[in-house]
Structure 1
């Protein structure tokens, strides 16, 4: 009886020891996996995508009038009075300014006398018994020059010394003051039509110029002022601003050697909205590539010794069961933009590519997915 009791106790003890052993093994395995997972690099992954690359590039430019009518002084004029202001609309023949007329009248008289003298000489040569054709041709040219000089002195000025508008339009520039004396061929007034056309111009360095070519589609954004429609008090002095966005195309690209930059321009269609010369504009261009079969984020790329690599995630059987690991794979980049790049020759069985990691990765190292 005692022997049987002792045998049962021994079996019970062995059973407890066995259970304890397996519990310890289980705990060790659990903690081993936990510790191992804690120490492993944690990675985020992505997949190969199909698509295009593209960037939006922006530059700052200014609004300009597409065409201006400029009124010049033909000589040194003393400006007695200016009758118009900037942004005033005028009609053809309106008096823009008054100048000291005595000297102008004398210049016109002398120019007219030169025309008459050239006509008399030419008439005499033609009436000779044996006209000298070469000399006649020379005097005809002199007559034309004399007429042009007379027209130049008379252009835009009446007998009272009034500078007259030669077309309908709006005054957008006045480059002389009352009491001042102009220089010959100085621009005094600048005008645009009642419905002016606009363009935008901007300058870029040689690196940026590569992004633009004549004909490229661009987007132009301009901040314009408008009356605050929500102003219940009717106070027109309170204004809001909004972005006026227009689509256009590059029409001109030229290199300015003195500034070592490229100047570009594009026409603007403001749909009747009045713009101001000198307004700032933001020019945007979206450059897109062809479609590629293998596109990944740029942050997937690791560069070593001028070679590009990616880390792909694979699975294998480890000591503690199935585990994830990474394999280093060389790739060729065929195109890129700010955030993504197109690669080629990546095997079709690659499903997961590392984008970010908590620790530095090496080939064949075990990892844990986040």
Structure 2
């Protein structure tokens, strides 16, 4: 009886010990699993989904008038007075600057006096006609011919009287001598005329050239005078358009010239625009005519509708410049804005987050989570899954091939992971 009790007591002790041992094993099993899980990378996953990609672009910019007027002058003058300030609204004809015109007016008086002198010289040259000189020589020939004819008649009379014995031979010889002198005089007059004709031809050519040069000098002087008058008129610098003054580049006392515009004016005539830079990847989805929103960074925080007008290369960068036309006539230019573009760029059967797509020497891939049964229960392993990517937007990437749709795609990991890594789920 006592032996039986002792045996029962021993069995109970063994059973208790076994139960305690089992509890200890279970405790250490779960404890070891928990400790191991604490050391494993934690990952978060998403399911691949179908949908549309939407590109979203937000860039800061400044509104400018499409029509910007830069007013230059083509002469130098001292600024006498500045009538407006940057930011002022002006209308066509308003005075912007007044330049000192006195030096130009003095120069004009000198030029006008010089022009009168040139015209007088030209008139004198015209008055000194070569034909008048030739006329003098022709008159001398006529006088010599008349004198010769008269002496020839006298010689005939003397010869008749000598034959009749009415005059002495000496008187006839004198008459013949006078006739010879008259012939020589006529011959000399003709020779002088021929020489003068040759000389006159040369002088005429020279005189014509000199007169042409005088005409050119007169024309040039007249042009200079007209230019001076225009400069004097332009010393009162006026607004050539309605608009807002954006720059005044010369102050009172400074010498204004053509190195930079006197003033810059933004006119509302052709509306307003904002220009922002985007990267090449973003620009390939944009087209002229795309509608955009533009948010004013002012107290009102209002928004405007806009349209992409141009897309062109930015100088010295790999970016693109997007010019957005704005539909608001209440703008002035210079307002700070945020240009916001949102545009669908394609539909895909599978989309994955951008951070899930990875690259190695074999190409593009995603890590997917694979569940396996282990000695301590369910275990999760990392598997590399190659994919073919399509377009992407700010958040997702379209996948052409490589996914079946049931995969759990790893998007984040608390530690670096690779093919076959054992992980836990966040």
Q: Give runs of aligned pairs for residues 306-325 of structure 1, distance below 5 A.
A: 306-307=362-363, 308-316=365-373, 318-320=374-376, 322-325=377-380
Separation in 1 of the partners of 2:50 and 2:372? 25
Provide, for residues 255-293 of structure 1, a one-character-per-residue CA deviation record: whole Å limited to 9, x for no partner. 4657776544222344525443xx544434346432322
1:31 and 2:18 equivalent?
Answer: no
Distance 1:299 1:210, change over 3 A: closer
Distance 1:319 1:186, change over 3 A: closer
Separation in 2 of the partners of 1:34 and 1:106? 106
Separation in 2 of the partners of 1:364 and 1:28? 29
Q: Is the 8 A contact 2:68 2:266 kept in 1?
A: yes
- Give the Å deviation of 1:327: 5.2
Query: In the comparison of the two structures, how many residue pairs are matched?
Result: 312
Match of 1:346 in 2: 403
Separation in 2 of the partners of 1:358 and 1:165? 66
**Root mean square deviation of aligned Cα:** 4.4
TM-score, normalized by length of structure 2? 0.57
Q: Is the 8 A contact 2:297 2:338 kept in 1?
A: no
Q: Is the 8 A contact 1:156 1:164 kept in 2?
A: no
Separation in 2 of the partners of 1:260 and 1:297? 26
Q: Is the 8 A contact 2:244 2:332 kept in 1?
A: no
Q: Is the 8 A contact 1:80 1:100 kept in 2?
A: no
Which of the residues 9, 18, 30 maps onto 2:6?
9
Match of 1:296 in 2: 352
More helix by share: 2
Separation in 2 of the partners of 1:171 and 1:305? 58
1:21 and 2:18 equivalent?
Answer: yes
Q: Give runs of aligned pairs for residues 282-293 of structure 1, distance below 5 A.
A: 282-286=338-342, 288-293=344-349
Match of 2:288 in 1: 214
Q: Which has the larger radius of gyration?
A: 2
More strand by share: 1
Match of 1:332 in 2: 387
- Give the Å deviation of 1:251: 1.5
Separation in 2 of the partners of 1:90 and 1:362? 68
- Whose RCO is larger (CA < 8 A, sep 6+)? 2
- Give the Å deviation of 1:214: 3.2
Match of 1:131 in 2: none
Separation in 1 of the partners of 2:91 and 2:295? 33
Distance 1:73 1:30, change over 3 A: same
Q: Comparing 185-194 with 303-312, which one deviates more in the overlay?
A: 185-194
Distance 1:312 1:191, change over 3 A: closer
Separation in 2 of the partners of 1:216 and 1:102? 56
Structure 1: runs of 5+ lacking an equivalent: 118-146, 225-240
Which of the residues 262, 274, 277 maps onto 1:188?
262
1:199 and 2:199 equivalent?
Answer: no
SS in 2 for 1:25: helix
